Amino acid sequence: MHHTGYQPDTVALIGAGNAIDSALQKGLQKVGFRVQLVGREQLTAEKFPARSGTIVINAASCGGGALMAEARAVCEALKGLPFTALLHLSSYGVFGRARRKKIDEEEEPSPSSERGRDWLACEEILSAVDNVSILRLGWQVDRSEDALLGRILRSLLEGRPVILDDTSKGNPVTVADLVRVAVAITQQLASGGPKSGLYHYGSADTCTAMEFGREVIDRVRSLYGEDFAAELAVLAPAEEDRSSVLSCGRLRDVFGIQQRSWRQGLTRQVELWLERLQKPEV
C-alpha cells in the first residue's frame, strides 16, 4: 500500500448509525487513511481495537434524539483511551435562544431543548480530555430520512403539502460537505496540525427551511418535469425566530477550510434520496 505520510494513518470511526457513516468511511479511505468502524461495546482500554495513537472521529452525537443517551455513554467511554487526537462532531443546537447575529466560538452555550442539552453534555464530558477537537455543525439537512431533505421529498412523493418554517435562518450542512470538512481536519491532525480546539462549520449562505424547500422542489422539477405537482405552505402560526447562524472564521484561520454553499451538489443529493425513498422494501 502506498504510504500517505500521515502519522498516524489509521482512523477509528464511531458512527452515527445513518448516512454519515459510510460517507465518512469512503471519504477517509479515498485520501489514504485506514478506517476501523468502532462500536460502543469496543470502547474499553482492554478491547479498543485501534492501534495505540490512532485518530478517533466520534460521530455518535449525530445519530438523532433516540440515540443521544448512547452518544453520552460513548463520550464517557472515550476518556482514557490511547488516541493521538479525537475529532468530536457536535451541533449548533447547543445554542438555544433566538439570535440575529453570527455565533462564534466565544459565545456561551445556552441550550433550550433536551437535544441541545445532550449535545452540550457530550462536549462537557470531553472537555477535560487532552487532544480533543470539537466541531459544531450547522443544521444537518440530509443525514437521515427524518432530516429536512428526506421529509420534504417524502411529502412530495406522497402528494402531501410541504409545511415549513419561513422565519428561522441557519447555515445548513449536507453530508457531502460535512465529510469534506471532517476529512480535511483529520488530514491536518495527522500531519502536525493543532490537536485541540473548538470550531464551527456551516454553509457560506443562510436560509430558512422554506427557502431550502423551494430549492429542493426546483431540483425535483428539473428531474421530473416542470409540471410536477408540489405544494408549499408556511408553518403557522409563525414560530419564534430561532435563527442560529454559525461564524466559521476560526476553522478557516486554523485549518484553511473554506465554507461552501449548501446548493453545491444539491441536485445529486436529491437524486440519491429519491432513489433511496423509492426503493421497494424487501
In sequence order, what are the beta bridge partners of 55? 11, 85
Q: Which amino acid is at 133?
A: S
In sequence order, what are the beta bridge partners of 103? 246
> What does 54-122 look like in DSSP terms, one character per residue?
EEEEE-GGGS-GGGHHHHHHHHHHHTT--EEEEEEEEEGGGB-S--SSEE-TTSPPB--SHHHHHHHHH
pTM value? 0.93
pLDDT tens column, 101-144: 789 999 999 898 899 999 999 999 999 899 999 999 999 999 98
In three-state secondary structure terms, 15 is: coil
> In this structure, is residue 144 part of a structural domain?
yes
> In this structure, is residue 124 part of a structural domain?
yes
pLDDT-derived band of residue 99, with 50, 70 and 90 as boundaries? low
pLDDT tens column, 21-64: 999 999 999 999 999 998 877 776 566 766 667 999 999 999 88
Range of the domain at 251: 10-278
> In this structure, is residue 5 part of a structural domain?
no
In three-state secondary structure terms, 39 is: coil
**φ, ψ for residue 221, nearest 5 deg:** -70, -30
E-strand stretches of 97-202: 102-103, 132-137, 162-164, 197-201
Residue 4: the pLDDT is: 67
Q: Which amino acid is at 198?
A: L
Decide if 61 contacts 122 (C-beta within 8 A). yes
In sequence order, what are the beta bridge partners of 102? 245
> In this structure, is residue 4 part of a structural domain?
no
Mean pLDDT, rounded, for 163-190: 95
pLDDT-derived band of residue 100, with 50, 70 and 90 as boundaries? low
> In this structure, is residue 3 part of a structural domain?
no
Tallying the residues shown for the chain, one arrives at: 282
Residue 44: the pLDDT is: 66
> In this structure, is residue 1 part of a structural domain?
no
pLDDT-derived band of residue 238, with 50, 70 and 90 as boundaries? low
> In this structure, is residue 57 part of a structural domain?
yes
Instruction: Look at residue 245 and tell me whether its pLDDT is greater than 50.
Output: yes
CATH code (residue 50): 3.40.50.720
Residue 128: the pLDDT is: 87
**Residue whose entry in the numeric block shows the C-alpha cell 465529510:** 179
pLDDT-derived band of residue 281, with 50, 70 and 90 as boundaries? low
pLDDT-derived band of residue 282, with 50, 70 and 90 as boundaries? very low
Question: Taking the C-alpha atoms of 68, 206, 276 and 20 in order, what is their torsion angle to the nearest 10 degrees?
Answer: -40
State the Cα–Cα distance between residues 141 and 151, nearest whole angstrom.
10
- Cell digits of residue 146: 427524518
> In this structure, is residue 111 part of a structural domain?
yes
Report the candidate in 70, 67, 121 with the shortest Cα–Cα distance to residue 93.
121
Domain count within the chain: 1
